[in-house]
Amino acid sequence: MDLKALLSLAFLVKALAVYTEREHPHIVFILADDLGYYDIGYHGSRIQTPVLDKLANQGIKLENYYVQPICTPTRSQLMSGRYQIHTGLQHKVIYPAQPLCLPTDEVTLAEKLREAGYATHMVGKWHLGHYQKSCLPTSRGFDTFFGFYNCAVGYYTYSKDTWFKGNESNQHVYGDDLWRNDVLVASKYKGKHKTRVLASEAQNIIMNHGKSRPLFLYLAFGAVHVPVQVPKKYEDMYRDIENKDRRQLLALTTLMDEAVGNVTAAMEEKGLWDDTILIFSSDNGAATSAGGSNWPLRGGKKAYFQGGIKVAGFVSSPLLPPHQHGSTNTELIHVSDWFPTLVRIAGGQLNGTKPLDGFDQWDTIRHNFPSPRKEILINIDPLSERDEYEETTHPWKNQNFDVYVNSGLIVGSWKLLTGHQDHAYWRSPPEIPSVQIQTFKFSQSKVLSLYNIESDPTEQVDLSECMPGVVYRMLEKLGAYNSSAVTPNFPDNDLEADPRRHGGAWGPWA
């Protein structure tokens, strides 16, 4: 390239940067719960999500975007920018009675944005631990919190039920879970739909926001997680779908879409939208047993297959370069990348954090530059279930990594899975009846599998036997990751958490 061409390219890059280098833009991060890859209009579903479709079509769709297969790990990596093997949250989610939370010595995204001068507000589902006050959102960088600490909180009751192990027997225990900062407010909102209540709270925050400070709003809907409950008028929009679970799931998604529209309308009414960057993401793939769909991807929630970890995500903003509006980005991006990316957008600093696993993806998103990320550690879970064939001889048993441990790794176009991999199915939504449901469990020969997710995005062809060199190199990488992992923290339930000891509420008890 000659000097003239180089100067022209430099001028173009500088000109494009004008659209996004405004100081301290407002940041709105919307996190859906269990929303499947297929369950958004722009992915070809018949679902009605006009607001999300419009935002995505005015922004940049992230089509090579990954999260974690379950709730707590995704939220922990969003807030910390660090893999769960480095925070001790490798195993399952945080349960209501566990004395466990995102380690309090982890610096959070909210803390960094507040340090950069932002007003920080959280509305919705926390699910990063609540056993002591130092674990709560307002102790982790948020100026205000309105929401719930657990998952699966009733949409009208604001009650969380769970099986709680008592002194003599297991008991089904209920507790209220809706808080304004540290005050229980569940009784005030009973009978009002949770999705609408959360959106209304977000609207109030926006309308009362003073323009002297930039705004960071983290809106974590409980939708579309079970128990799926939705007003009849939305369900009637899908009355032709016979499967009740699917019909209600689509209806709840449409209600959430409407709620997002109310929030963005408030941003426009307040005069904030033109200086706002909005990010939308799901926290994991759909629970297909509850009516969700990740079609045509394999697996679903809890799975290390694509259906559990590859989700709908996009960035929408008037600050994006005009030629990027409506574009698709296929660079590799992970949920942990939002930490350094948003801190950079905010004009903040990363000093004081532990070593991050996330990458600054802002140039990748706004200018479609190559992603600095070349691989994603899905997880290494040494507490995962081990099958009966554990002691049998496997060709990779004595290599760099224990292949009987549940793990997953993506490097470029290659994806390696080890251990007991459940949810190993392809399942079409009921509205596509011509496609047959296929299910099977891993057998002994499937304790290790290798897929080329570029040429085989639905993970149908295991290449581990014919590509031993790739397997060996990826096991070496897993071994290196494992050497940096901390011991999983997954304590037993604490009887002191019983909501009957705390006024009928799930809240801090330690």
**1 inside domain:** no
253 and 300 fall within a common domain: yes
Of 331, 355, 373, the position where a domain reaches its end is 373
12 pLDDT exceeds 50?
Answer: no
Is 127 noted as a catalytic residue in this protein? yes
Residue from 26, 43, 127, 225 carrying the catalytic annotation: 127
86 pLDDT exceeds 60?
Answer: yes
Residue type, 63: E
Rounded distance, CA 280 to CA 263, Å? 13
- The string of pLDDT tens digits covering residues 118-143 is 999 999 999 999 999 999 999 999 99
**5 inside domain:** no
Where is average pLDDT lowest: 70-74, 199-203, 431-435?
431-435
User: What residue ranges in 235-331 does DSSP mark as E strands?
Assistant: 276-282, 313-316, 327-329
Number of domains in the chain: 2
363 and 457 fall within a common domain: no
162 and 234 fall within a common domain: yes
Per-chain mean pLDDT for the chain: 92
| Residue 471 belongs to domain with CATH number | 3.30.1120.10
- Lookup: tokens for 280: 């939308």
**179 inside domain:** yes
What percent of the chain stands above pLDDT 90?
84
Contact 158, 194 (CB under 8 A): yes
353 and 462 fall within a common domain: no
Query: Smallest Cα–Cα separation from 216: which of 78, 118, 146?
Result: 118
| Residue 48 belongs to domain with CATH number | 3.40.720.10
pLDDT band at 172 (very low <50, low <70, confident <90, very high): confident
- The string of pLDDT tens digits covering residues 256-294 is 999 999 999 999 999 999 999 999 999 999 999 999 999
410 and 346 fall within a common domain: no
326 and 431 fall within a common domain: no
**282 inside domain:** yes
367 and 478 fall within a common domain: no
What local confidence, expressed as pLDDT, does residue 438 receive? 53
**258 inside domain:** yes
320 and 411 fall within a common domain: no
- The string of pLDDT tens digits covering residues 92-111 is 999 999 999 999 999 999 99
11 pLDDT exceeds 60?
Answer: no
**10 inside domain:** no
Classify strands 448-452 and 183-184 as parallel, antiparallel or unpaired: unpaired
What local confidence, expressed as pLDDT, does residue 479 receive? 96
Burial of 363 (0-12, 13-18, 19+ CB in 10 A): middle
**492 inside domain:** no
Domain hosting residue 477, numbered range? 383-483
Residue type, 157: T
Q: Which residues contact 160 (CB under 8 A, 6 or more apart)?
A: 96, 148, 150, 151, 152, 153, 154, 174, 175, 176, 177, 506
441 and 387 fall within a common domain: yes
75 and 98 fall within a common domain: yes
Rounded distance, CA 227 to CA 392, Å? 41
Of 352, 373, 394, the position where a domain reaches its end is 373
What local confidence, expressed as pLDDT, does residue 271 receive? 97
Classify strands 60-62 and 313-316 as parallel, antiparallel or unpaired: antiparallel
Burial of 271 (0-12, 13-18, 19+ CB in 10 A): exposed
User: What residue ranges in 324-478 does DSSP mark as E strands?
Assistant: 327-329, 333-334, 375-381, 406-411, 414-418, 425-426, 438-439, 448-452
pLDDT band at 170 (very low <50, low <70, confident <90, very high): confident
pTM: 0.94
261 and 407 fall within a common domain: no
Burial of 220 (0-12, 13-18, 19+ CB in 10 A): buried
Mean pLDDT of 427-447: 65
115 and 28 fall within a common domain: yes
Is 466 noted as a catalytic residue in this protein? no
**19 inside domain:** no
- Lookup: tokens for 321: 């370069």
pLDDT band at 397 (very low <50, low <70, confident <90, very high): low
Residue from 24, 26, 71, 193 carrying the catalytic annotation: 71
Query: Smallest Cα–Cα separation from 39: which of 315, 238, 292?
Result: 292
- Lookup: tokens for 174: 């209920």
45 pLDDT exceeds 90?
Answer: yes
